Amino acid sequence: MNAKTNVKRINNSEIQPRRMDFRFDDSIPTYWFAGDQFKSILLTSLSCTFPEGERFFVRSVRHYQPGITNPVLREEVKGFIGQEAHHGNEHEHFNALMQKKGLPTRKVEEFVLNGLKWQGKKLSPARQLAKTCALEHFTAMLAETILENPEYFEGMDERLLPLWLWHAVEESEHKAVAFDVYQDQVNNYWVRTSEMAATTVEFVGFQIFHYFQLRAAMNDKTDWKSIAGGMKWLMGKNGFLRKLGPAYLSYYKRDFHPNQRDSRALRDAGLRKLATMLNRPELLEAIV
């Protein structure tokens, strides 16, 4: 994978989009995560939700953008929109590669698109923004767990690791923006927490469904050893998802705020690693 990084300031905040322009090599295998069937398909299915999911986030925040008077938040929203747009584009490129490999990623993307269109018609703007806040909390938790525990991604194809590392850094960077817009424009505790509860069920349920959508298209046998190992990776004693419990529950506190956890050191370390991997020292410009 080749990447040409363009870091250009587009707003007066610390949240600056990085246009990566990843190019994915066709020789990347279908099972690109340590040759593991379960992990590769699970993360590919997650990637399939990103392009339309990120666009939903942007729409929900943009709805309230004209009413924001706080000058700092206005600039952070610009950075949030720019970063999310690039995330969707880069994951579309990855998903297209997996489509070539025989995984029906476009089918999943279309399913997500239609589902979010339906929610856009049925949910109020406040509920849509609350859903964005909930999903942004999920992505921030996942991102910061990755940054803090890089061993969870050991064995991932080195040509794809920069995609996930870059995405994790930027999700952590803008983790509070949608929440701050919500608090500024809506500030309803019940809507925020009830939407998180509903979104949790949706997120888990649809992620399982999308996994099986992709897996059903493969002609090889189910690797039960891979599934057993994947469950341990997710839910074991030191499992990936089990580490998220305290951070997840904190969202239901009345005084919760995403920045109660200072993650700058994690992000800076991630950026240094990314800059080294890609030989792009300009990525370090964000580190002060």
Q: Quick one: which H or E segment has residue 241?
A: none
User: Would you say residue 104 has pLDDT above 90?
Assistant: yes
Predicted TM-score (pTM) of this structure: 0.92
Is 29 within 8 Å of 157 (Cβ atoms)? yes
Contact 178, 133 (CB under 8 A): yes
Structural domains of the chain, count: 1
Q: Which domain holds residue 264?
A: 2-286
Is 4 a residue whose pLDDT tops 60? no
272 bridge partner residues: none
Structure tokens at 126: 């406040």
Please name the residues in contact with 130: beta carbons below 8 A apart, sequence gap of 6 or more. 182, 186, 188, 191, 192, 195, 196
Q: Tell me: pLDDT of 219 over 80.
A: yes
pLDDT value at residue 1: 55
Residue 7 has pLDDT above 80, yes or no: no
Q: How many residues does the chain have?
A: 288
Residue 264, pLDDT above cutoff 60: yes
> Token pair 């998802």 is at which residue?
241
The identity of residue 24, as a single letter, is: F
Q: What's the pLDDT at 6?
A: 56
